[in-house]
């Protein structure tokens, strides 16, 4: 008789993690419900001081609470925090991902649909993370019936997830309904990848076997599904909780063995040992080696999919060795694709030595450590590290390992999930190539087109190399090993969120730190956090500005304040100049009517000249006040840039205008400081402006100050 043992039999990643976390808390802890659905494991944990509590109210003072691998509703987490109870979250990461998905989808107002057993702990936990009550269907028939109940059900905004251990065939039926009948549905493939591989492998082995033995607790949902699945392909299927439940085994040519995700490895070994002992007692033959059919779509380096079948066969030991010893050694043998965990014992310029706790000495070439430079630089002797076996040398007793391949195997699952969930991921830019850059995201090569890097068209991409970036996964084709990402998608999403915040909080006078994004002849546009506002050229400076580039440059960080805004038109008017820097304020504080000052001529006009008193404040010297005699034009006496002595003769504080006079000083000097008592003389400026002066004070019948330069 030939015995074929499935390589995926036994603890999955999530179960193994949960049991280890519970074991670390042994002494004074309690799990909220069974840590996993296996009475043998829960009994052993109880003996080590980890009891089962059915709810938060059953916890004892000082006990550490442990949330089981199936997860718990949000309310349980909140209650533990409210009471200040220390707790460990042993929820399977794959289940936790579903929690995050339904929380996000329901928060957006979508109807969450869960395909699974309504009374199962995992499904109850998932439902507890929804904003509104979800719909739960155990199979495709129930879902189809609900669709038929009302026509509007087919057009509802549905977000569909499944229990991680759901039968693949059930999910495929659900997906078919969603594609053909639902117009506004989103599906999330949340069946655990280990479950998919386990079911495929079990079906393949069952199809080629005379009998199948399923080892596991009868309360375990995934164990029962394995049993039901195998019955479709094999007539003789036995579900046993341990070796004692096997009884006397029949006479079969080929027997397949698999186990649920919550079945400990030693129980599988005991079942295999009992079967093999009976074979040896009856026939005196060893367990034969079976063929190794590959698991469809399995990644060679994936922790659970290294081989489709692992055959129990005699090890190369002494003839009097017991079968148990041979079996034990078989389980410790390293195979290509196995996931292993070890401790770093040495680091050299070419490799990292790892103690695996087996007869093989493990080592990781530096090229196989991956692209995460922060991890590599921080790695030290004594650190625990996970890797995948890529080559075993039994002669030399060595095993070449690769962290890169293990990361890639894990990363593919995360990358595929990120397409559905639109999750933002971190990557490390490793190279620039034609058309874009390549990033390493959890060990997976992701191509980012130049148009999606955020670098302006024609700009250099080399600055991105060897930097960490945040990106969205936009396309995954695992068959072609092609993954495409976008940095710009993250930028757009963040910009949109910032823009919403700006519009929610904006008010006149509010100050922002912004970046100059672009420039025109009439002003500049400043990004104040997802929204662009315009600073008109007149608001750039209190001084005269010929062009915005005289004050700022594109890329400058500036402090601006809101002058006005229009939410409907999405327009914001900003100011760069501040009241504290207002030169008029400085003028009013330092100058008075009658003061004699030195001013610089800045512009000549037909009706007079403008002179700068201080930067930002000019005064008008009317043509009649330039000299003590009639002149043809201001340029006959003055020139731009010339400094002149003049007198402040008038100030309009409301309109912020100043009038100056050179003539007043000349006449004062001519009269030797005596007062002028003559009647004011009227003068036609030639522009329809009639002006008269008395004691150097200019009276204008047409407001010259309103004339534009």
Bridge-based pairing of strands 135-137 and 608-614 is: unpaired
Lowest mean pLDDT among 275-279, 287-291, 382-386, 604-608: 287-291
Gap between the Cα atoms of 232 and 155, Å rounded: 35
Rounded percentage of the chain residues whose pLDDT exceeds 90: 32
C-beta of residue 205 within 8 angstroms of C-beta of residue 171: no
C-beta of residue 192 within 8 angstroms of C-beta of residue 165: yes
CATH of 94-191, one of 3.90.420.10, 3.30.2320.80, 3.40.50.1820, 3.40.1010.20: 3.40.1010.20
CA distances in angstroms from 295 to 82, 114, 305, 538, 560, listed in the order given: 47, 28, 7, 72, 62
Give the rounded distance of the alpha carbon of 196 from its chain centre: 27
Mean pLDDT confidence for 365-376: 81
Gap between the Cα atoms of 173 and 143, Å rounded: 10
Gap between the Cα atoms of 153 and 219, Å rounded: 34
What's the pLDDT score for residue 703?
42
CA distances in angstroms from 393 to 228, 336, 362, 516, listed in the order given: 40, 10, 10, 62
- Averaged confidence pLDDT in the chain: 81
Fold of 13-92: Rossmann fold (3.40.50)
Gap between the Cα atoms of 164 and 417, Å rounded: 14
Higher local confidence (pLDDT), 144 or 421 = 144
C-beta of residue 2 within 8 angstroms of C-beta of residue 253: yes
What's the pLDDT score for residue 673?
52
CA-angle at 89, arms to 86 and 91, nearest 5°: 160
Examine the pLDDT at 309 and tell me if it is beyond 60.
no
Task: Show the 3-state SS of 408-428.
Answer: HHHHHHHHHHHHHHCCEEEEE
Lowest mean pLDDT among 174-188, 213-227, 660-674: 660-674
Topology agreement, domain 422-491 and domain 594-706: yes
Instruction: Tell me whether residue 122 is one of the annotated catalytic residues.
Output: yes
**DSSP-derived 3-state class of residue 542:** coil
Examine the pLDDT at 684 and tell me if it is beyond 80.
no
Highest CATH level, class, for 594-706: mainly beta
Gap between the Cα atoms of 117 and 198, Å rounded: 19
* Confidence band of 332 (pLDDT split at 50, 70, 90): low
What's the pLDDT score for residue 706?
43
Gap between the Cα atoms of 609 and 589, Å rounded: 24
Highest CATH level, class, for 422-491: mainly beta
Gap between the Cα atoms of 104 and 159, Å rounded: 10
Higher local confidence (pLDDT), 295 or 450 = 450
**DSSP-derived 3-state class of residue 147:** helix
Gap between the Cα atoms of 375 and 367, Å rounded: 13
What's the pLDDT score for residue 577?
84
The token pair that represents 639 in the structure block: 């020139």
Mean pLDDT confidence for 2-18: 80
- By C-alpha distance, which of 112, 60, 107 is closest to 83? 60
What's the pLDDT score for residue 128?
95
Q: Which of 196-205, 371-380, 445-454, 498-507 has the highest mean pLDDT?
A: 445-454
Fold of 2-8+197-332: Cobalt-precorrin-4 Transmethylase; domain 1 (3.40.1010)
Bridge-based pairing of strands 309-311 and 254-259 is: unpaired
CA-angle at 86, arms to 85 and 87, nearest 5°: 110
How big is the chain by its Cα radius of gyration, in Å? 41
* Confidence band of 250 (pLDDT split at 50, 70, 90): low
Mean pLDDT confidence for 477-489: 87
| Backbone φ, ψ for residue 397 (5° rounding) | 70, 35
- By C-alpha distance, which of 35, 54, 37 is closest to 46? 35
Gap between the Cα atoms of 222 and 167, Å rounded: 8
Q: Edge-to-edge, what's the strand order for the sheet holding 111-115? A: 135-137, 111-115, 158-162, 185-187
CA distances in angstroms from 412 to 191, 216, 328, 415, 462, listed in the order given: 15, 29, 32, 5, 27
Domain 506-581, second-level architecture: Beta Barrel (2.40)
CA-angle at 530, arms to 529 and 532, nearest 5°: 90
What is the CATH code of the structural domain delimited by 339-406?
2.40.50.140
The token pair that represents 20 in the structure block: 């280890």
Examine the pLDDT at 58 and tell me if it is beyond 70.
yes
C-beta of residue 200 within 8 angstroms of C-beta of residue 193: no
Gap between the Cα atoms of 124 and 138, Å rounded: 13
Catalytic-labelled residue, pool 24, 46, 79, 122 = 122
What's the pLDDT score for residue 359?
67
The token pair that represents 111 in the structure block: 């109807």
Examine the pLDDT at 670 and tell me if it is beyond 50.
yes
pTM more than 0.95: no
Gap between the Cα atoms of 582 and 614, Å rounded: 11
C-beta of residue 474 within 8 angstroms of C-beta of residue 485: yes
What's the pLDDT score for residue 659?
95
| Backbone φ, ψ for residue 554 (5° rounding) | -60, 130
The token pair that represents 293 in the structure block: 């059919």
C-beta of residue 287 within 8 angstroms of C-beta of residue 3: yes
Those residues whose C-beta lies under 8 Å from the C-beta of residue 357, and which sit 6 or more positions away, are 342
> Where are the alpha helices (H) located in 208-301, listed in sequence order?
221-233, 265-283
Lowest mean pLDDT among 24-38, 270-284, 515-529, 658-672: 270-284
> Where are the alpha helices (H) located in 571-641, listed in sequence order?
583-590
Domain boundaries, the chain: 2-8+197-332, 13-92, 94-191, 339-406, 422-491, 506-581, 594-706
């Amino acid at each position: 008789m030939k015995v074929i043992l499935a390589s995926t039999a036994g603890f999955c990643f999530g179960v193994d993690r949960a049991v280890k976390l519970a074991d670390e808390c042994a002494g004074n802890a309690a799990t909220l419900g069974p840590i996993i659905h296996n009475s043998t494991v829960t009994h052993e944990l109880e003996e080590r001081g980890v009891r089962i509590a059915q709810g938060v109210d059953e916890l004892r003072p000082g006990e550490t609470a442990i949330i089981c691998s199936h997860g718990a509703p949000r309310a349980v987490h909140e209650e533990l925090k409210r009471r200040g109870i220390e707790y460990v979250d042993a929820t399977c990461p794959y289940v936790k991902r579903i929690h995050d998905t339904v929380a996000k989808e329901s928060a957006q107002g979508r109807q969450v649909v869960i395909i699974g057993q309504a009374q199962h702990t995992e499904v109850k936990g998932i439902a507890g993370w929804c904003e509104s009550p979800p719909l739960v269907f155990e199979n495709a028939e129930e879902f189809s019936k609900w669709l038929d109940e009302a026509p509007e059900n087919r057009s509802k905004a549905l977000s569909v997830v499944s229990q991680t251990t759901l039968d693949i065939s059930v999910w495929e039926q659900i997906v078919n309904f969603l594609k053909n009948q639902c117009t506004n549905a989103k599906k999330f493939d949340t069946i655990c990848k280990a479950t998919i591989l386990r079911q495929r492998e079990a079906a393949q082995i069952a199809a080629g076997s005379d009998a199948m033995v399923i080892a596991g607790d009868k309360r375990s949902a995934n164990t029962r599904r394995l049993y039901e699945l195998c019955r479709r392909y094999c007539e003789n299927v036995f579900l046993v909780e341990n070796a004692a439940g096997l009884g006397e085994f029949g006479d079969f040519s080929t027997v397949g063995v698999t186990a649920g995700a919550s079945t400990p490895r030693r129980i599988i070994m005991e079942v295999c040992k009992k079967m093999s002992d009976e074979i040896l007692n009856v026939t005196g033959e060893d367990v034969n080696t079976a063929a190794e059919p590959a698991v469809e779509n399995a990644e060679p380096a994936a922790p659970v999919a290294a081989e489709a079948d692992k055959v129990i066969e005699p090890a190369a030991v002494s003839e009097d060795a017991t079968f148990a010893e041979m079996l034990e050694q078989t389980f410790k043998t390293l195979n290509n694709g196995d996931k292993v965990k070890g401790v770093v014992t040495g680091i050299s310029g070419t490799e990292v030595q790892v103690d695996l706790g087996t007869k093989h000495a493990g080592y990781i070439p530096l090229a196989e450590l991956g692209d995460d430079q922060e991890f590599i630089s921080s790695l030290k002797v004594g650190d625990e590290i996970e890797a995948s076996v890529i080559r075993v040398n039994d002669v030399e007793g060595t095993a070449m390992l690769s962290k890169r391949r293990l990361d890639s195997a894990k990363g593919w699952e995360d990358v595929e999930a990120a397409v559905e969930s639109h999750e933002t991921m971190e990557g490390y830019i490793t190279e620039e190539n034609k058309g874009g850059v390549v990033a390493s995201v959890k060990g997976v090569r992701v191509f980012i087109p130049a148009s999606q890097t955020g670098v302006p068209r024609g700009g250099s991409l080399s600055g991105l190399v060897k930097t960490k970036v945040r990106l969205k996964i936009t396309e995954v084709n695992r068959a072609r090993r092609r993954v495409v990402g976008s940095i710009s998608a993250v930028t757009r999403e963040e910009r949109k969120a910032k823009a919403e915040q700006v519009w929610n909080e904006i008010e006149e006078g509010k100050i922002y730190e912004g970046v100059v994004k672009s420039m025109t002849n009439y002003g500049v546009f400043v990004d104040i956090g997802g929204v662009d506002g315009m600073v008109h050229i007149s608001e750039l400076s209190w001084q005269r500005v010929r062009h915005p580039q005289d004050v700022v440059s594109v890329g400058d960080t500036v402090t601006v304040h809101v002058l006005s805004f229009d939410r409907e038109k999405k327009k914001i008017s900003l100011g760069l100049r501040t009241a504290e820097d207002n030169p008029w304020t400085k003028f009013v504080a330092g100058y008075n009517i009658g003061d004699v000052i030195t001013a610089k001529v800045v512009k000549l006009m037909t009706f007079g000249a403008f002179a700068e008193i201080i930067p930002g404040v000019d005064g008008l010297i009317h043509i009649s006040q330039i000299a003590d005699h009639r002149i043809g034009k201001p340029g006959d006496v003055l020139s731009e840039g010339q400094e002149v002595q003049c007198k402040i003769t008038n100030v309009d504080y409301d309109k912020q205008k100043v009038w100056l006079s050179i003539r007043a000083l000349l006449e004062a000097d001519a009269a030797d400081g005596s007062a002028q008592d003559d009647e004011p003389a009227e003068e036609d400026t030639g522009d329809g402006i009639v002006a008269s002066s008395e004691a150097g004070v200019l009276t204008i019948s047409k407001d010259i100050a309103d004339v534009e330069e």
